[in-house]
Chain A
Amino acid sequence: MAVQEIWGNALYDTLVEAGVGIFSYVPDGGHKVMIQRAIDDPRVRAISLTTEEEGVALAAGAHLGGAKAVLLMQSSGAGNCINMLSLTANGQFPFLCFVTMRGTFGEQNAWQVPMGKAVRPSLESIGVDCLEVEREDEVAETAEAALNMAYRSNRAVAVLLSQKLIGAKAF
């Protein structure tokens, strides 16, 4: 958890400084620091979802109202989002999500592998640009790039946080 304390806090601060005011999430261990920061922070709203695609629609609604919402989820949730991303694509809504990866580098739970390997091709097929982060020193730079692509170019962007960064969970 020590490593996540560093990049998780830095990433959270970067997002809030960029004007992100809503964090929706389906919990994941890799997002523990950011989720707790959002819950404890009176400047933002932390919204616990029942399924990840709610966060896709929620972000579009927030944009209609002039706010920035990001979605925090695990790779298993990416598949749940696919049809809802038609709203993002068809309406050219900005969309920014942070995906903690499972099923790839060093995975010990075979159930995580199919969706983990399908994250990038599925998201790209519905129009989401994927930026992968493998090292702690890439987190801030990638977040800045993703923020610009989403909120200045109205792109849908997923930042994939690799198991090289977050570690492969012992299962």
Chain B
Amino acid sequence: MNQQRGNQRLDRATAVPRVIGNNRDFLIVSGLAGAAKDVHALEEGADNAYLMGGAMGAAVPMGLGLALAQPERHVLVVTGDGELLMAIGSLAVAATSGLTRFSVVCVDNERYGETGNQIAHTAMGIDLATVARGFGFRHTMLAAAEDEMDTARDLIRRQDGLVFVHLKISDAPPPKPSSRSFDGVERKHIFRKALLGHV
């Protein structure tokens, strides 16, 4: 269960950008709450990222739909631990999809951060990388220490099988979005126009 390593807490504001690296290497789908704010902070209004403020559980299957439509592109899903556990079966769907350019980073603060910082299941030692490996993800790792972040950044760029990184971070609040809200229609239009040339 890796309790001891799991209790190490990387700083959220530096760990997420460091693991993702150049966000332009991917098409990104980010689930609600902290994960969406993390991705928003990488590049405000980026036209290669779709960020959600609800529909908990959507991140992995939505990223999968995007990857099926764009098999030549590398899709990165960024999701929180609460959302991932709500839709854990979607890892099985992804793993059996035949895709190889599909990476998931689970940003795990061990808390339900949006609702009062209640303790989440992952605080009690759940090893999500082993879970993902069991579903059939080829490359999986727990990134919980400073010297593991660069390894994680390289790993999510592998294109020879599905990648899952369980990123343990502090329970400090995620970066605060500045001005724009995550408008579902606007983000869809921006994303499609950049990718497809039309809305």
Question: Contacts A57-B57, A66-B196, A93-B188 known; A50 to B68 CB distance under 8 Å?
Answer: no
In the complex, which residues of chain B have a beta carbon less than 8 angstroms from the beta carbon of A69?
65, 68-69
**Residues 94-131 (chain A) with a chain B CB within 8 angstroms:** none
Question: Contacts A47-B97, A50-B92, A66-B69 known; A60 to B195 CB distance under 8 Å?
Answer: no
- In angstroms, Cα B62 to Cα A62, docked, is 7
A83 x B195 contact (CB < 8 A): no
A92 x B185 contact (CB < 8 A): yes
In the complex, which residues of chain A have a beta carbon less than 8 angstroms from the beta carbon of B92?
50
A84's closest neighbor in chain B, by CB?
A: B55
Tell me if A49 is interfacial: C-beta within 8 Å of chain B. Answer: yes
Interface 0/1 of B40-70, CB less than 8 Å to A: 0000000000101011111111111111111
Tell me if B173 is interfacial: C-beta within 8 Å of chain A. Answer: no
B192 x A54 contact (CB < 8 A): no
| Count, A-B residue pairs, CB within 8 A | 124
A51 x B89 contact (CB < 8 A): yes
A65 x B66 contact (CB < 8 A): yes
- In angstroms, Cα B188 to Cα A92, docked, is 9
A57 x B93 contact (CB < 8 A): no
A65 x B57 contact (CB < 8 A): no
Tell me if B103 is interfacial: C-beta within 8 Å of chain A. Answer: no
- In angstroms, Cα B50 to Cα A51, docked, is 23
A91 x B185 contact (CB < 8 A): yes
Tell me if A86 is interfacial: C-beta within 8 Å of chain B. Answer: yes
Please count how many residues in chain A sit with their CB below 8 Å of the partner chain's CB atoms. 32
B57 x A53 contact (CB < 8 A): yes
- In angstroms, Cα B64 to Cα A60, docked, is 10
In the complex, which residues of chain A have a beta carbon less than 8 angstroms from the beta carbon of B58?
56-57, 60, 84, 87
- In angstroms, Cα B44 to Cα A44, docked, is 35
Q: How far is the CB of B68 from chain A (nearest CB, A)?
A: 5
B97's closest neighbor in chain A, by CB?
A: A47
- In angstroms, Cα B188 to Cα A66, docked, is 11
B188 x A58 contact (CB < 8 A): no
In the complex, which residues of chain A have a beta carbon less than 8 angstroms from the beta carbon of B35?
none
In the complex, which residues of chain A have a beta carbon less than 8 angstroms from the beta carbon of B56?
83
- Scoring B56, B61, B196 by chain A CB atoms within 10 A of each residue's CB, the highest score goes to B61
A60's closest neighbor in chain B, by CB?
A: B62
Tell me if A36 is interfacial: C-beta within 8 Å of chain B. Answer: no
Tell me if B134 is interfacial: C-beta within 8 Å of chain A. Answer: no
B68 x A45 contact (CB < 8 A): yes
Question: Contacts A50-B92, A91-B185 known; A83 to B55 CB distance under 8 Å?
Answer: yes
Select which of B54, B89, B96, B195 is within 8 A of A54 by beta carbon. Answer: B89
B197's closest neighbor in chain A, by CB?
A: A66
In the complex, which residues of chain B have a beta carbon less than 8 angstroms from the beta carbon of A65?
27, 65-70, 73, 195
Q: How far is the CB of B185 from chain A (nearest CB, A)?
A: 5
In the assembled complex, 15 residue pairs joining A and B whose CB atoms fall closer than 8 Å, in A order, are A50-B90, A54-B64, A56-B58, A56-B61, A57-B59, A58-B64, A63-B65, A64-B65, A65-B70, A67-B69, A69-B68, A69-B69, A86-B55, A87-B184, A91-B185
**A residues lining the B interface (CB < 8 Å):** 21-22, 45, 47-51, 53-67, 69, 83-84, 86-87, 90-93
Beyond known contacts A58-B93, A61-B61, A65-B195: 6 more, CB 8 A cutoff? A22-B68, A47-B93, A61-B66, A63-B192, A84-B55, A84-B57
For the complex of A and B, 3 pairs with smallest distance between CB atoms? A65-B69, A61-B65, A50-B89
